[in-house]
Chains A and B, each alone.
Chain A
Amino acid sequence: MIRVFLVLVALIALGALKLPVERDLAAVHRREHFRGIEFNLDLREKIGQLGFIAALSGFRSIVADALFIQAHVAWERTEWGRVLLLFQHITTLQPRAILFWDMAAWHMAWNASVAAMNDGTQPRLALRVKAQREYFALGKDFLERGIRNNPDRPELYEALARLYKEKYKDHERASEFFAKAAALPGARTYDRRFSAYELSYCEGREREAYERLRQFYDEGEKQRLPTMISRLKFLEDKLGIAQERRIPDAKPSQH
């Protein structure tokens, strides 16, 4: 009995020593966005009893992968509602996997939206457009939630920029998100350039776009790409830049 008592005293004393370390580790986990999943009744309803038990017992990534395969099959059958539902489960289970957020948004905003627009069973154009916009919004929602879960990764900012550019034709927001992607470590080198390209389409921000594009152009030959040159020439005309300050015309092809 004395031994047990002594052990309890030792445990309490050592517990007081370990608590700050555990608290510190938990803070690091939160800061680095680990433990991003909450096992609650909502998730239990979504993934079913067996899946929930599997997820609880440490097979979260395997359950997510199995659901991802099911989502792929649902996509092949163009069952868009099921694709949406499955990707909601998958992203809940694996909120740190960029691929799942990106794929979910792509299915909604690109594939399902086009299918809704070409829906032969819906004769009214207004309703087809409405369905299309709803799928755009679902894609945007996936990307925004993905960014909230992975604010340190550039891929989803870039995907959201593409969504604004190609689906919403909102060049200002596209430029903003390309710039956010470019500011993060591991971003693609073209993100910086794309941000300036998108800005060049925004009414009233041509001067700012011109200065950024000109800065890239002046960095050297590697930056002087066809789109860069064509956007610069467009802005030079629009802003009435003096002839001596304009970039030279492209050299004729050597072929």
Chain B
Amino acid sequence: MNGGVPLAVWLATISGFLAIVALLFPDLQAFNLVDDIVAGTAISLGLFFKTAVLGVFYTTIYTLLAAFVFYGKEL
């Protein structure tokens, strides 16, 4: 790493970037349960409701924010 950026700096940069991504974007992996359902795994009611509430939260928030940004713009 002579003359280059130290590894610790790289790692900190990448961690910071990933933290921002996690903060701004929804975690859609939470809804990826279909393969387990096909394999016969039971989805508990608690998990189902938590996932459903998270889905409603994402839909509402991102729709409202998108509407706020694009409101009154000529598209």
Contacts and interface: CB of A to CB of B under 8 A. Distances in A.
Interface in A1-57: 3-4, 6-8, 10-12, 14-16, 18-19, 21-22, 24-26, 28-29, 32-35
A60 B35 contact: yes
The B interface is mostly helix, strand or loop, or mixed, namely helix
Nearest to A3: B69
A29 B30 contact: yes
Contacts of A28: 46-47, 50
A117 interface: no
Going nearest first, the 10 A-B pairs with the smallest beta carbon separation are A15-B23, A97-B39, A96-B39, A61-B38, A22-B27, A25-B30, A7-B65, A60-B35, A11-B24, A34-B36
A8 B23 CA distance: 10
Contact of B68 (A3, A18, A21, A35): A3
B22 A15 contact: yes
A21 B51 CA distance: 10
Given A4-B69, A34-B41, A14 B36 contact: no
A58 B24 contact: no
B23 to A, nearest CB: 4
A61 B24 contact: no
Interface residues of A, number: 31
A94 interface: yes
Nearest to A94: B39
A64 B5 CA distance: 44
B67 to A, nearest CB: 10
B62 to A, nearest CB: 9
Interface of B: 22-24, 26-27, 29-30, 32-36, 38-41, 44, 46-47, 50-51, 54, 57-58, 61, 65, 68-69
Contact of B41 (A19, A21, A60, A96): A96
Given A16-B23, A35-B29, 17 more contacts: A3-B68, A4-B69, A11-B24, A12-B23, A15-B24, A18-B26, A18-B57, A22-B54, A25-B30, A25-B54, A26-B27, A58-B32, A61-B34, A61-B38, A96-B35, A96-B39, A98-B40
A8 B24 CA distance: 8
A220 B47 CA distance: 41
Given A7-B69, A34-B36, A21 B50 contact: yes
A90 B30 CA distance: 23
Interface in A74-133: 94, 96-98
A142 to B, nearest CB: 16
A58 to B, nearest CB: 7
Nearest to B61: A14
5 contacts: A11-B24, A12-B23, A21-B57, A28-B46, A61-B38
B30 A18 contact: no
Contact of A32 (B35, B47, B51, B58): B47
B69 A25 contact: no
